[in-house]
Structure 1
Amino acid sequence: MITAVVRYTLPPQIDHAACREHFHMIAPNFRGVTGLISKHFIWSESGWAGGVYQWERIEDATAFYTGPWLEGIIQRYGMKPQIDFYEVFALTDNTRGKVELFEEAVAPNDPSR
């Protein structure tokens, strides 16, 4: 499992309410994204917003963050987003009362990594 943290600064015309309204409008559009497990739409008083995504595979994530999605972010927010990828080793899900431990997808010494 992969977690991606995507962040961008909001232009002055997009305040808290406008950001929330936009996120509420687009959230259903992510239901059919290949490999996407979940997305948290995030906002901060510091002027940053974005998403925390859970992906099945890094290939699905990197494919998504190109083309129309990237062009839309640049057009709306005036910048390329910062994207950081993390491999998930374990997950504690208190809602389901479950802990999941993930096997390593690629060995750390694998030269193809």
Structure 2
Amino acid sequence: MITEIVNFDLPESMTREEAVALFEKSVPRWQANAKLVRKYYLYDGEAGIGGGVYLWPSVDDAKAAHDAAWCDMAEKLYGARPRFQYFETPLIVDNTG
């Protein structure tokens, strides 16, 4: 498994409510991606950063989902190019059930 962390600078004028509304519009796209294991949306209003944490089977799957067209779309929506980090995820602890 691979954990991908994606973040981008948000416009100074964007409120939490506006950011969450944009995040909510993207939910169906991520639900339709059969390769995506899990996604967490990120928001830091003080730092002006948004993004997501994704769990994927491979780096190739992550990069396929976040291709140049997706980066262009994110830049148009949020005003900044996204930044990416990839980590091998050898263990997961899930205390939800």
Q: Calculate the TM-score normalised by the size of structure 2.
A: 0.90
Show the counterpart of 2:50: 49
Structure-1 separation of matches of 2:60 and 2:13: 34
Larger RCO of the pair (alpha carbons < 8 Å, separation 6+): 2
Residue 14 of structure 2 is matched in structure 1 by 14
The two structures have a TM-score, normalised by structure 1, of 0.78
- The residue number in structure 1 matching 2:87 is 86
Map Cα deviations across residues 24-76 of structure 1 (whole Å, 9 max, x no partner): 22212211214111111110121100000010111111111113211101111
SS at match of 2:51: strand
CA distance, structure 2, for counterparts of residue 26 and residue 61 of structure 1: 16
Matched, 1:77 2:78: yes
> Do 1:5 and 1:53's aligned partners in 2 also have CA atoms closer than 8 Å?
yes
Partner of 1:99: none
Partner of 1:109: none
Q: Distance in 2 between matches of 1:2 and 1:59?
A: 10
3-state SS of 2:13 partner: coil
- Segments of structure 2 that go 5 or more residues without pairing to the other structure are none
Identify, as 1 or 2, the structure richer in helix.
2
CA contact (8 A) 1:2 1:54 kept: yes
Q: 1:61 & 1:8 partners in 2: Cα distance? A: 16
The equivalent residue for 2:61 is 60
Percent identity for Structure 1 against Structure 2:
28
CA distance in 1, matches of 2:7, 2:68: 17
CA contact 2:75–2:81 (8 Å) conserved in 1: yes
CA RMSD in angstroms comes to 1.3
Contact 1:34 1:60 in 2 (8 A): no
